[in-house]
Structure 1
């Protein structure tokens, strides 16, 4: 009789579908094992089409990877000379190879961050799940449990990764693990900014359940990079986005996690920083003035600045606006939520005999605003509005 454990091992092996991998099992040295995220996600039925594959091998990993890259024509990247870790990239696949730490696979797994990441699939003739410290129980219970506080300190990025896994997997941080994270927050400052940025992007792009933000406020993992006192996200409004994810919502999370200075010090791009600054400016202005007190011009400028990222702003609005605004934003023909000039710059130059430059830009903005508030309906009417504005505002008069 085949055991339940064997059946599960076979199912996981089948879901991972090694026939699609860019390497064959015969390429791997005896005693190799697959570990980490792909094993965890396979057991959770959350595998992507080309999951990242992390292998532990009992020989020199960098040397092995370099030789293998030549055979399969993959890009070779030396990740960590000291810890003997290398990466191969080929046809959309990422394969990491690390030399086994310790005398055996169990020793290696015991040095990892969380128990759900310390499950291995031994790649022998008969694939076998190896779970020496109860990671599979944690998957069933939807818990994130640290193997030890020392393991987290060995690579402080793991402190932030625990919170990221909570967000991505919709799991709960075990109480003792939460204490470990909170007690070692300051050690995150020893981690390279680029590594922290990658974790933060994953956090901001993940779906948050109702416990995520209170947990973050308790842990204050990014306090060094956030001195701003912005209002908390109203996560009760998350249901607006649950059925149809909308690009840009992640900015709302990002401006609550990081200040503008934090974004800069963590090497975010100029475009990302600019978008966050715009969103932060309008959130503050709405909190200070109230939308009902906005002038017509302020309301128009809001939609010019935040057209792409309006869903992120909506997360900060009360119910009076949220649903209506989202519906209007989803309509590409709405002239206020997607402002544009009804006439091109070329056609205006030709019809009104004006030059390219700031004056033309101001005219096009005026037309976009008049169109947004539906003060004309045809291009002929738009041209008359343009002619009148030009006469009244021409610097040559």
Structure 2
């Protein structure tokens, strides 16, 4: 069993208990770095003294409710004031039986006989069951409706029948929860290796409709193309396909570049989410504009401009869930351009110019878009669509990682030099000229600084992209 040596400093207190996930995870032989305490004494004083003892940082989470945090190294210790007259009343207010256990610091010995377990959490851990402590606890904090499925996915447990009934009964109460809390829970779900299974279950429980009604509305749209559940089924399958790629580390799809891609997707795009997590959300939302754009043209259902319409819907979802500006921008960029790689498959050859424009427009998100586009293609049966997407994707990656000088040439002139050469002030025109110059370099029309100066003079004079005249 895992023991945290730092918390031995607290053994002198008689009015403090270890609670929640630390006990659960220790009994499951899992290492946890989030540790919760309940105190009947001066919570703030105890937490601050503990912070001093372990050289940690003391943070006030909520002075009114007396909750405090101590951070040391990569470990988090949360201290809360006891809710109720005693530890049993406090545990009765918790979400699930597996989290409603406590251990007194008089012993701090995780033998089963020392665990305070009024709701048979030990038995539920043994039987891998998620069971609510009481129905009213869902009413008091409806976020627990989502947490039930997240814990089930995280621990590979099953939610018992009565608890499932309560979740369906109170699913509408998610509307009352702060968006930031829902966003956090959604990201925790998407971080799971099998978030597809969890998303399917919260859909069936009626919870997904409360979080992203726009996504659920795609149900049965375009069944002529997507027989199983329409576009919603396609979106779910895109998530599943992406997770299958993650599980294989992309070795079969991108055999020469899978290590670089995995490293790229591990990058944090925001304070709360990695690229690989947000890419899962992009897989779910990439076609969300199709129902609004659907039109029958010459007897065929078409979705012209669904990318732009999808971006508008993502903007609404992102703001409602309080996503950061960077997260919303990322999702909109991938949605707007998710057909672009497919368009390249119809060309006879992937030119340096086409590759340059692809990476110029997508910038840091280009790799993510390649992964999303191939994922989308692999939701279709084996055949030409899959093959061509895989070929073009690997050609783009080859140009990016092995022939970068062709699609990202070294700058021959900077903005200041352009202003000096053309004798013009700083303005948006400088950026436009830089782009034209870079494209001319990609096309090998400009190779030296002298040629670059001549090119921009001609370009500025004509005010057109007449390369042949330059």
| Rounded Cα–Cα distance in structure 2 between residues aligned with 1:337 and 1:260 | 36
| Rounded Cα–Cα distance in structure 2 between residues aligned with 1:357 and 1:96 | 52
Quote the residue 1:4 is aligned against: none
Deviation at 1:54, TM superposition (A): 0.4
Deviates more, 1:55-64 or 1:298-307: 298-307
RMSD over aligned CA atoms reads 4.2
| Rounded Cα–Cα distance in structure 2 between residues aligned with 1:313 and 1:387 | 40
1:54 partner SS: strand
Alpha-carbon contact 2:189-2:198 (below 8 Å) kept: no
Match of 2:408 among 340, 347, 357: 340
| Rounded Cα–Cα distance in structure 2 between residues aligned with 1:360 and 1:108 | 64
Residue 163 (str. 1) matches residue 149 (str. 2): yes
The alpha-carbon distance between structure 1 residues 41 and 125, as it changes in their structure 2 partners (threshold 3 A), is closer
Superposed counterparts of 1:220-259, under 5 Å: 220-226=206-212, 227-228=214-215, 229=218, 231-233=234-236, 234=238, 235-242=240-247, 244=249, 245=262, 246-247=265-266, 248-255=275-282, 256=284, 259=314
The alpha-carbon distance between structure 1 residues 189 and 263, as it changes in their structure 2 partners (threshold 3 A), is same
2:23 partner SS: helix
| Rounded Cα–Cα distance in structure 2 between residues aligned with 1:183 and 1:337 | 59
Alpha-carbon contact 2:446-2:455 (below 8 Å) kept: no
The gaps in structure 1 that reach 5 residues or longer are 1-10
Residue 269 (str. 1) matches residue 324 (str. 2): yes
Deviations 1:38-66 (A, max 9, x none): 22222333324xx1210122334345445
Deviation at 1:171, TM superposition (A): 3.7
| Rounded Cα–Cα distance in structure 2 between residues aligned with 1:293 and 1:149 | 57
The alpha-carbon distance between structure 1 residues 379 and 135, as it changes in their structure 2 partners (threshold 3 A), is farther
The alpha-carbon distance between structure 1 residues 332 and 157, as it changes in their structure 2 partners (threshold 3 A), is same
Residue 198 (str. 1) matches residue 184 (str. 2): yes
Superposed counterparts of 1:285-324, under 5 Å: 285=339, 292-293=345-346, 302-303=358-359, 304-305=361-362, 306-307=365-366, 309-310=368-369, 311-318=371-378, 319-320=386-387, 321=389
Quote the residue 2:31 is aligned against: 47
Length, aligned pairs only: 373
Superposed counterparts of 1:199-214, under 5 Å: 199-208=185-194, 210-214=196-200
Alpha-carbon contact 1:251-1:312 (below 8 Å) kept: no
Alpha-carbon contact 1:65-1:88 (below 8 Å) kept: yes
Deviations 1:94-153 (A, max 9, x none): 322223334543333232112222233332235144233333444344433322322122
Alpha-carbon contact 2:47-2:58 (below 8 Å) kept: no
The alpha-carbon distance between structure 1 residues 35 and 337, as it changes in their structure 2 partners (threshold 3 A), is farther
The alpha-carbon distance between structure 1 residues 183 and 286, as it changes in their structure 2 partners (threshold 3 A), is farther
| Rounded Cα–Cα distance in structure 2 between residues aligned with 1:168 and 1:382 | 57
Alpha-carbon contact 1:170-1:208 (below 8 Å) kept: no
TM-score normalised per structure 1: 0.75
Quote the residue 2:306 is aligned against: none
The gaps in structure 2 that reach 5 residues or longer are 219-230, 250-261, 267-274, 286-312, 379-385, 465-470
The alpha-carbon distance between structure 1 residues 286 and 31, as it changes in their structure 2 partners (threshold 3 A), is same
Alpha-carbon contact 1:25-1:123 (below 8 Å) kept: yes
Higher relative contact order, structure no. (Cα contacts within 8 Å, ≥ 6 residues apart): 1
The alpha-carbon distance between structure 1 residues 198 and 327, as it changes in their structure 2 partners (threshold 3 A), is farther
Superposed counterparts of 1:70-149, under 5 Å: 74-79=57-62, 81-82=64-65, 84-125=66-107, 127-128=109-110, 129=112, 130=115, 131-149=117-135
1:380 partner SS: coil
Alpha-carbon contact 1:113-1:146 (below 8 Å) kept: yes
Deviation at 1:391, TM superposition (A): 3.9
Alpha-carbon contact 2:98-2:130 (below 8 Å) kept: yes
Alpha-carbon contact 2:421-2:453 (below 8 Å) kept: no
Quote the residue 1:16 is aligned against: 3
Deviation at 1:169, TM superposition (A): 3.3
Alpha-carbon contact 1:160-1:221 (below 8 Å) kept: yes
Deviation at 1:175, TM superposition (A): 3.8
| Rounded Cα–Cα distance in structure 2 between residues aligned with 1:394 and 1:364 | 15
Deviations 1:232-253 (A, max 9, x none): 1421342321254533122233
Quote the residue 1:6 is aligned against: none
